[in-house]
A and B are shown apart, each in its own frame.
Chain A
Amino acid sequence: MAAPVGVHLEFGGGAELLFNGVKEHQVTLPSQSDPWDMKQLLVWIRRNLLKERPELFVQGDTVRPGILVLINDADWELMGELEYQLEDQDNIVFISTLHGG
């Protein structure tokens, strides 16, 4: 059994509006047999944090187009995207791309 994982979640660029306008969330993912990965985190967020209109955040098993995911201040593409295994105290940011000027 893997121990519970504490992760810091941040939402920005308007993505926080799907979470009652709250930008920062410190959450604890319960212990489970396999290590937590990003794919499971998205499912967890959808079930536990996201109450309304999930299609504005997730599409299929990943984030919808126009949301950039950052793992510890790096583009998640550099970190293995959905397969990235979460470590305790990781900082995960979901940022909606801005288009205005």
Chain B
Amino acid sequence: MDQDVGSLKAQLKEKEKEVAALRARLAQMEKSRASVPELHSDVAPLTPLTAKAALSNEDIMRYSRQLLLPELGVQGQLNLSGTSVLVVGCGGLGCPLAQYLAAAGIGRLGLLDYDEVELSNLHRQVLHGEENQGQAKALSASRAVRRLNSTVDCVPYHLQLSPENALELIQQYPPEANLPCRRLGHLDFPDPMYDIVADCSDNVPTRYLVNDACVLSGKPLVSASALRMEGQLTVYNYGGGPCYRCLYPTPPPPETVTNCSDGGVLGVVPGIMGCFQALEVLKIASGRGCAAARVAPGDMADNSPGGLFSAFDLNQAPPASCGQQLLMFDGQDARFRSIRLRPKQPGCAACGEKPSVTGLIDYEAFCGSAATDKCQKLNLLSKDQRITAQDYKSILDNTEPHILLDVRPRVEVDICHLPFSLNIPLSSLEERKSEHLRLLQGRISQLKQEMAAERRPAVYVICKQGNDSQKAVQVLEKLSGSEVDAITVKDVCGGLMAWAKNIDPTFPQY
């Protein structure tokens, strides 16, 4: 009896050891499978992506709910596994787009972003978490996507898309080699690096750059944008439809362009648009987007196992539902609207009959703005019309009589303001709104009683970052001595953000 107990115990111990070893091996394998994707800071050639020949049992289980759709089916799923998508920008649009493409089983995702994760990104860039602050967005997005579907090949690029790298990144062969049916599995020419490009960028120069690179390399471009409560989506350069330049031959004047860091955006709005982008990409990638797109495999496929029919020969493919169409979303009214667009324009500089854009150009010069959504610094005033945040601190410390005029819109003043400031929005000054001018005049008269008669009252203008304040100084100088009493007016360089950074670290930044 004792002997039996002893031997069982020994056996159990042995088995436990075995289990522990198996557990360790499993953990090791899982760890390496979900290992950190290597961050690329330049464009390196990738191994060709080959579509799956058949679905494994695991694939069938994972994708079962979408395999049931006749609109996708097994062939569509296999096509997805052989498609690589370049996502330009891992922000508010790129995050949900990458998430749904990975979940659906896309073959390869190139995730490109030059930026790092900041706290003010998290309300809309939902693949990044608090612990990812300061990390490259491309890497953070890749890790999140890997957790979701480790079978997707993720390639994070921590770099700015530029005229120098865009073509090399998108294609691995010169445009002349842009042959139809290149996805038939022949090996006599290299696979293209990316099959579809998604523009999730946040600035005008990048949008023209991505368009031209797609036209030159013959790639469909699924493009979305969002601002405030609105979004827009179009598929360009696909199925004989127009390219971005067909619609917008001339870039907008830089002063008419508002970015998300100035105009604001409700996170769910780019979320909705990014999801729509994913839908359009999936329809193109599966080759089964609409009835006409269903080329019978026998018509075009070669007979080798795994051979795929060309899902999207650009000249023959029927338009995706958003080709030659603009989808507009207004979140305020909860309304979608679909607009029929012009066809490809024969006179288009990029995709027309005699294109003048035969290579990539300097897009920042072309658009007159930088390829970033960060605030550009204006320089409208001379040095003696400006003071620093430090100068203003001394004025306060010396209790010099003055007016601090905050020219931000009401909604921003509600976020934070200096308690003694007078708020008149720049727009009201520009429109010379009488009630606001009366308010200002009242404060000037009050100030005059507090100081020596021969001195001009001082007005210091402040805004968020020191751009609007300069415009306001220019307006006020015109008003001074005519619509209001003569004043000395200067702006606070760098605005409230400089104040928060250099003088009062407890003042909120936004």
User: Contacts A12-B328, A14-B228, A99-B203; is A74 near B340 (CB within 8 Å)?
Assistant: yes
User: In the complex, what residues of A have CB within 8 A of residue B270's CB?
Assistant: 100-101
Q: Considering the chains assembled together, what is the distance between the CA atoms of A68 and B275 in angstroms? A: 24
Q: Considering the chains assembled together, what is the distance between the CA atoms of A66 and B204 in angstroms? A: 10
Within 8 Å of chain A (Cβ to Cβ): is B202? yes
Within 8 Å of chain A (Cβ to Cβ): is B248? yes
Interface residues on B, range: 35 or more
A-B contact count, CB below 8 Å?
103
Interface residues on A, range: 20 to 34
Q: Considering the chains assembled together, what is the distance between the CA atoms of A63 and B373 in angstroms? A: 25
Q: Considering the chains assembled together, what is the distance between the CA atoms of A48 and B259 in angstroms? A: 29
Which of these, A53, A67, A70, A99, contacts B339 with CB under 8 Å? Answer: A70
User: In the complex, what residues of B have CB within 8 A of residue A12's CB?
Assistant: 230, 328, 330
Within 8 Å of chain A (Cβ to Cβ): is B476? no
Query: A56: shortest Cβ distance to chain B, in Å?
Result: 5
Residue of A nearest to B125 (CB): A101
Query: B336: shortest Cβ distance to chain A, in Å?
Result: 12
Within 8 Å of chain B (Cβ to Cβ): is A4? no
Within 8 Å of chain B (Cβ to Cβ): is A65? yes
Which of these, B207, B228, B256, contacts A64 with CB under 8 Å? Answer: B256
Q: Considering the chains assembled together, what is the distance between the CA atoms of A57 and B253 in angstroms? A: 11
Q: Considering the chains assembled together, what is the distance between the CA atoms of A14 and B224 in angstroms? A: 16
Residue of B nearest to A15 (CB): B256
Which of these, B232, B253, B338, contacts A98 with CB under 8 Å? Answer: B232
Within 8 Å of chain B (Cβ to Cβ): is A73? yes
Within 8 Å of chain B (Cβ to Cβ): is A54? no
Which of these, B200, B250, B373, contacts A65 with CB under 8 Å? Answer: B250
Is A66 a contact partner of B225 (Cβ separation < 8 A)?
A: no
Within 8 Å of chain B (Cβ to Cβ): is A97? yes
Query: B430: shortest Cβ distance to chain A, in Å?
Result: 6
User: In the complex, what residues of B have CB within 8 A of residue A98's CB?
Assistant: 225-227, 230-232
Residue of B nearest to A65 (CB): B250
Q: Considering the chains assembled together, what is the distance between the CA atoms of A75 and B93 in angstroms? A: 25
User: Contacts A98-B226, A100-B202; is A73 near B337 (CB within 8 Å)?
Assistant: yes
Within 8 Å of chain A (Cβ to Cβ): is B323? no
Residue of A nearest to B124 (CB): A101
Is A73 a contact partner of B226 (Cβ separation < 8 A)?
A: no
Residue of A nearest to B93 (CB): A101
Is A101 a contact partner of B202 (Cβ separation < 8 A)?
A: yes
User: In the complex, what residues of B have CB within 8 A of residue A68's CB?
Assistant: 247, 326
Can you list 10 pairs linking A and B with CB atoms under 8 Å apart? A14-B228, A64-B252, A66-B248, A66-B252, A73-B338, A75-B340, A96-B256, A97-B252, A100-B225, A101-B200
